[in-house]
Chains A and B, each alone.
Chain A
Amino acid sequence: MKDMHTVSLKVNGRDHQLVVEARRTLADMLRHDLGYTGTHLGCEHGICGACTVILDDAPVRACLVFGVQADGAEVRTVEGLAAGEQLSDLQQSFSDHHALQCGFCTPGFLMLTEAYLAEPDGEPGPLTGEQARELVASNLCRCTGYQGIVEAIRATAEARARGRPANGAPANGEPGNGEPANGEPA
């Protein structure tokens, strides 16, 4: 018999309630049950970090978290970053610095960095190259050689530390700041 559970959670500011099996991962729940397919599954064993989402302000690997663990939580996925067609400052910086090629790992890098830059203790300020490399060393990218990613993160951290967003895009750093419609799956 299947062990079913009711889960209530907020994804990108939008309320969801659903019934899932106990063994359903958060990644599968987001992708298959709720349609947030921007979260990508790479290795499915917690190494590559492509499935990173923000669970109550902390970056987590959605393949290593069960859906039921997100009951009552607020989840942010890559769909919640942009305001409609307007990319967030971090997304725009990734684009400007060629921080992606195939783009498969990008949602994970974006959410990892977003969680770091929006830590409740305040903006961490500008990052050295070494700090930025250490930050993203938890995730794998097979295309870029990481240099563009490191540069994009440093530029965003610096722009946010200066108090104005890079490239005039809104600093989309607060959890749940988007209108519910922004986070709707395509």
Chain B
Amino acid sequence: MVVIDPGTCAIRLYRYLVVEDCGVVINPMVVDGQVRGGVTQGAAAALLERVCFDAEGQPVSTTLMDYLAPTAAEMCAVDIVHLQTPSRFSETGAKGMGEGGTIGAPAAVLGAINDALSDTAVRFDHIPVLPQDLSAALKKTAVKNPAVKGVHAG
């Protein structure tokens, strides 16, 4: 779930719930840590991180001032629910759990953004969704449809 500031178009993660199945959970603390770390990478890909090139193909996001990695302030707490379907193909019944959060997060965050925008005509189908992208898209639809004024949290 995300909250969008109608004035600045800043998008904040508000609540994040993961339901994942890594088969048999051997060390719950490590599994939770991997899931949360993965979600952070994926959510940041949807909201912050972008590699930019100039017209000559020169990379321009070359420092951590240009390439925005998430800090603790951009992340929210991540709740996790485990499903445990033992794998038939491993000794312990465990499956991989490192990448799951990263793979699911961009689509989940994009879905949350579109849900928050459900009162408007704006929809996104690409990441990252940056505040300037959202602001531009809202201005564009506002011209087409002057009735659209603000964005509600969703």
Q: Decide: A43 near B77, CB < 8 A? Known: A98-B29, A139-B71, A149-B72.
A: no
A133 to chain B, nearest CB (A): 4
Specify which chain A residues have a CB less than 8 angstroms from the CB of B37 in the assembled complex: 101, 142-145
Please determine whether A134 and B69 come into contact, CB atoms closer than 8 angstroms: no
A128–chain B nearest beta-carbon distance, Å: 12
Q: A101-B33, A147-B77 are in contact. Are A47 and B72 (CB under 8 A)?
A: no
Most buried by A among B33, B77, B78: B33
Interface residues of B in 43-70 (CB under 8 A from A): 63-65, 69
Q: Is the CB of B40 within 8 A of A146?
A: yes
Whether A150 is near chain B, meaning CB under 8 Å from some CB there, is yes
Q: Are A45 and B69 in contact (CB under 8 A)?
A: no
Per a CB cutoff under 8 Å, which of B40, B73, B78 touches A134?
B73
Total number of B residues with any Cβ neighbor in A under 8 Å: 21
Q: Distance (Å) between the CB of A1 and the closest chain B CB?
A: 32
Are the CB atoms of B29 and A140 closer together than 8 Å? no
Q: How far is the CA of A133 from the CA of B71 in the complex (A)?
A: 8
The reply to whether the CB of B32 lies closer than 8 angstroms to some CB of chain A is yes
* Chain A binding surface, main DSSP class: loop
Does B75 have its Cβ within 8 Å of any Cβ on chain A?
Answer: yes
Q: Which of the residues B29, B30, B65, B73 comes within 8 Å of A133, measured between beta carbons?
A: B73
Identify which of residues 96-125 in chain B touch chain A, using a CB-to-CB cut-off of 8 Å: none
Q: Chain B residue with minimal CB distance to A142?
A: B69
| Cβ-defined partner of B78 (8 Å) among A45, A138, A140, A145 | A145
Contact A145 B36 (CB under 8 A): yes
A43–B72 contact, CB under 8 A? no
Residues of chain B with a CB closer than 8 A to A148's CB: 33, 36
What is the CA–CA distance of A139 and B74 in the complex, to the nearest angstrom? 12
Q: Is A136 an interface residue (CB 8 A)?
A: yes
Tell me which residues across on chain B come within 8 A of A145, comparing CB atoms.
33, 36-40, 75, 78
Taken together as a complex, chains A and B put the C-alpha atoms of A142 and B37 apart, in Å, by 7
B63 touches A47 (CB 8 A): yes
Closest to B73 in A: A137
B65 adjacent to A47 (CB under 8 Å): yes
Kindly state whether residue A129 has any CB partner on chain B within 8 Å: yes
State in angstroms the CA–CA spacing of A24 and B40 once bound together.
Answer: 35
Task: Using CB atoms, name the residue of chain B closest to A138.
Answer: B71
Chain A, 32-63, contact with B by CB distance < 8 Å: what is the 0/1 string? 00000000000101011000000000000000
The CA-CA distance from A101 to B32 in the complex, in Å, is 11
Residue of B nearest to A148 (CB): B33
Contact with A along B11-52 (1 / 0, CB 8 A): 000000000000000000110111011111100000000000
> Does B64 contact A129, Cβ atoms closer than 8 Å?
no
Known: A101-B33, A148-B33. A43 touches B39 (CB 8 A): no
Interface residue ranges, A against B (CB under 8 Å): 43, 45, 47-48, 98, 101, 129, 132-134, 136-150
Contacts A43-B64, A101-B37 known; 12 new A-B pairs at CB < 8 A:
A45-B63, A47-B64, A133-B72, A137-B72, A139-B71, A143-B33, A144-B33, A145-B33, A146-B75, A147-B75, A148-B33, A150-B72
